[in-house]
Structure 1
Amino acid sequence: MSKKIETDNTCNTSRRNLMKGTGLAVAAMSMIPAATATQAFAQTSEWDKVFPKSDKVDHQKVPFNNRYGITLIADLYLPKNRSGQPLAALAVGGPFGAVKEQSSGLYAQTMAERGFAALAFDPSFTGESGGKPRNVASPDINTEDFSAAVDYLGLQPYIDRQRIGVIGICGWGGMALNAVAVDKRVKAVVATTMYDMTRVMSKGYNDSVTPEQRGEALEQLSHQRWADAEKNMPAYQPPYNELKGGEPQFLVDYHDYYMTPRGYHPRAVNSGNAWTQTTPLSFMNMPILTYIAEISPRPLLLIHGENAHSRYFSETAFAAAAEPKELMIIPNASHTDLYDRMDKIPFDRIADFFGQHLA
């Protein structure tokens, strides 16, 4: 049976129009002159997360390969008080443009404190994971990254491969739903503060991009391929989350997370680095939530902030999903509040959800 949990307060009716008139969202950002590419970073064994290390959890860095031969680097979190019985496990990814030292690691460590094995990974081409060029995204390969994490978890002797779930945050929430729809090994999925990156890149925020604007963006991106081919290297978008003044509140919120001590990490695309200019191409004609109903009969929990500019992504996904499903709206929460605000993220509900469905 589906459930939608929401505050009694009337949501600001203007939230869906927040980006009207501000341009072509992510895809159009590639029209701005390129910035310097982020360099690949050497793997480090030191604790370099943006959140404190828990004394209730064991942590180790692990590698594994995806189906395309790219080596992913992940942080594995295990409860210290485990009994020796195989554990239920969670693959955790996101947000889009983040690294495992940020939100996904916080979620993974917190779930390990609650008795789960949890694996937070850097997606292909980003962070400490492999793949060249750096800082490029793919709706196909990044969906595959989730399944590769499930591969890894299911091969560990201390994990029950019949009890594996997935958590996707922000843009990787959409990737998680796409992965779980096709990967029947996953028994339950949570997507929090979810973005459908294929929708926003192809249609802009609130689907505001006109066919003419879409055509112009694709024209520019198509010709950028020749420029990249001539130089044998990609051009990059401008640095992300550097404010110039007058930005909408949600961009200020992104800056407050990614560019301040709260969440800054030098390997994160969103911490003043950049995606390749042509990253939007594969997203613009590949809608990743087409088969979301095929997650059923496995349970789906969507969590979003009441005041998040992105809330409509979860509402649309909830409407398209089949039973069993639940949409949980967090009162007075913005999009980025669900990245790291421990008083906003409903970890009790998430733990109960997986405790029930990975039993």
Structure 2
Amino acid sequence: MIENNDRNEITEPQLGRRSVLKAAAGVAAIGLATSVQAAPASAPPSITSEWDKTFPKSPKVDHKKVTFKNRYGITLVGDLYQPKDTEASLAAIAVSGPFGAVKEQSSGLYAQTLAERGFVTLAFDPSYTGESGGEPRNVASPDINTEDFSAAVDFLGLHSKVDRDRIGMLGICGWGGMALNAAAVDKRVKAVAASTMYDMSRVMANGYNDSMTLAERTKLLQSLGKQRWADAEAGNPAVGPVSLELEGGEPQFVVEYAGYYKSKERGFHPRAINSNGSWTLTNPLSFMNMPLLSYIEEIAPRPLLLIHGEKAHSRYFSETAFAAAIEPKELVIVKGANHVDLYDQLEKIPFDKMTAFFKENLA
């Protein structure tokens, strides 16, 4: 791992507008694919009982599927991981992300690994995605998904093996921004970490590297308004094409996303939007007008840990958040890592650092 303030600029915004929107497909859903034959989002699946994760089950932890409700009455589904053979009152961590993923992917891997290290962990599907409830499907909300993290704290704080005064949060990719937003408002959270963090409101509102002009933003909002009329007429929201179906010529970071989400040897999961579906076309609307990290300084005096890959196209999100936050804070840059390396590459994910951070600050 290295600490480094030299940012690697990405060149995607210098591509044509059509290329920028294509690059964002399945990741931030920034634009509209108006020529697509869109279909309504499907109903939530039933809850599975078998192990269907993208990583092997650990013999060191106990696992069970759980459900709980958020403040809006939506039933969330999570995987609870606990160290085996312990009667102690333990520290706990709520985990979610990436944006467009499910708990059977990266968040579950993080949760199980941290449970091996002595924490009770809960990896959950956000509202409207995966096995969690909420309709329509495949939609996100800066408010409701922030609430999902606090609902996970509710659940953990009522668990018999959890010390409710020792609860932390960990968000990955787009849910890194949600975790920071939730920690700022939810003072029950004693420490928060974000890995390979995206600020989804920033990228949807302004484009990558804040390259979207006011004229482009206005045109996009006008298109989204027209799509609302179409959705209202149809009676349900339309979705775009299946995410990350590469046609050639995509930016490298999109190829890397596909290398994780589409590979059955790595991260493919049939319930994941980024593997097998698409967000609703109007998904960007609330994000474009509700900045997530407006109160990031209010995480302090509770500690903040940001982790990002040295070669990640998204690195600037963590660097900007780090600059805006107040001590105690730490930014760890992982040498040689790109954005999706921190989804599942165990030799690159700094679990020792995360373990030390949570053990110290959830003591």
Q: Quick one: percent identity of the two aligned structures?
A: 66
How has the CA–CA distance of structure 1 residues 38 and 264 changed in structure 2, closer, same or farther, with 3 Å as cutoff? farther
| Residue aligning to 1:28 | 31
The answer (yes or no) to whether the contact 1:318–1:326 under 8 Å persists in 2 is yes
| Residue aligning to 1:273 | 277
| Residue aligning to 1:19 | 13
**In the aligned structure 1, how far is the partner of 2:193 from the partner of 2:180?**
8
Runs of 4+ in 1 over 4 A off after TM superposition: none
| Residue aligning to 1:259 | 262
**In the aligned structure 1, how far is the partner of 2:362 from the partner of 2:37?**
45
| Residue aligning to 1:340 | 344
AA paired with 1:174? G
Which of the residues 42, 46, 49 maps onto 1:45?
A: 49
Deviation at residue 38 of structure 1 after TM alignment: 4.4
| Alignment pair present for 1:142 and 2:145 | yes
| Residue aligning to 2:316 | 312
The answer (yes or no) to whether the contact 1:90–1:165 under 8 Å persists in 2 is yes
Task: Give CA-to-partner distance per residue, 1:334-355, whole Å, 9 cap, x none.
Answer: 0000000000000000000000
| Residue aligning to 1:303 | 307
| Residue aligning to 1:114 | 117
AA paired with 2:165? Q
Deviation at residue 28 of structure 1 after TM alignment: 1.3
How has the CA–CA distance of structure 1 residues 29 and 304 changed in structure 2, closer, same or farther, with 3 Å as cutoff? farther
**In the aligned structure 2, how far is the partner of 1:255 from the partner of 1:235?**
23
**In the aligned structure 1, how far is the partner of 2:206 from the partner of 2:335?**
28
AA paired with 1:6? E
Q: TM-score, normalised by structure 1?
A: 0.95
**In the aligned structure 1, how far is the partner of 2:80 from the partner of 2:37?**
35
How has the CA–CA distance of structure 1 residues 34 and 204 changed in structure 2, closer, same or farther, with 3 Å as cutoff? farther
**In the aligned structure 1, how far is the partner of 2:110 from the partner of 2:65?**
16
Please state whether the residue corresponding to 1:115 is helix, strand or coil.
Answer: coil
AA paired with 1:207? D
1:182-331 mapped onto 2 (5 Å cutoff) = 182-261=185-264, 262-331=266-335
**In the aligned structure 2, how far is the partner of 1:72 from the partner of 1:95?**
16
Which of the residues 347, 354, 360 maps onto 1:356?
A: 360
**In the aligned structure 2, how far is the partner of 1:104 from the partner of 1:76?**
12
Deviation at residue 30 of structure 1 after TM alignment: 4.9
**In the aligned structure 2, how far is the partner of 1:31 from the partner of 1:177?**
33
Task: Give CA-to-partner distance per residue, 1:40-77, whole Å, 9 cap, x none.
Answer: 21110000000000000100000000000000000000
The answer (yes or no) to whether the contact 1:173–1:193 under 8 Å persists in 2 is yes
AA paired with 1:97? G
Task: Give CA-to-partner distance per residue, 1:167-189, whole Å, 9 cap, x none.
Answer: 00000000000000000000000
Which of the residues 75, 78, 81 maps onto 1:74?
A: 78
**In the aligned structure 2, how far is the partner of 1:43 from the partner of 1:71?**
12
Over aligned residues, Cα RMSD in angstroms?
1.5
The answer (yes or no) to whether the contact 2:32–2:223 under 8 Å persists in 1 is no
Please state whether the residue corresponding to 2:121 is helix, strand or coil.
Answer: strand
How has the CA–CA distance of structure 1 residues 23 and 172 changed in structure 2, closer, same or farther, with 3 Å as cutoff? same
The answer (yes or no) to whether the contact 1:190–1:301 under 8 Å persists in 2 is yes
Deviation at residue 158 of structure 1 after TM alignment: 1.1
Which of the residues 64, 74, 77 maps onto 1:60?
A: 64
Task: Give CA-to-partner distance per residue, 1:226-247, whole Å, 9 cap, x none.
Answer: 1111111111022111100010
| Residue aligning to 1:98 | 101
The answer (yes or no) to whether the contact 1:89–1:116 under 8 Å persists in 2 is yes
Q: Which runs of 5+ in 1 are unaligned?
A: none
| Alignment pair present for 1:128 and 2:151 | no
| Residue aligning to 1:6 | 3
**In the aligned structure 1, how far is the partner of 2:244 from the partner of 2:178?**
22
Which of the residues 149, 152, 155 maps onto 2:155?
A: 152
Q: Which runs of 5+ in 2 are unaligned?
A: none
Please state whether the residue corresponding to 2:132 is helix, strand or coil.
Answer: coil
AA paired with 2:156? L
Please state whether the residue corresponding to 1:49 is helix, strand or coil.
Answer: coil
Please state whether the residue corresponding to 2:276 is helix, strand or coil.
Answer: coil
Q: Which segment drifts farther, 328-337 or 237-246?
A: 237-246
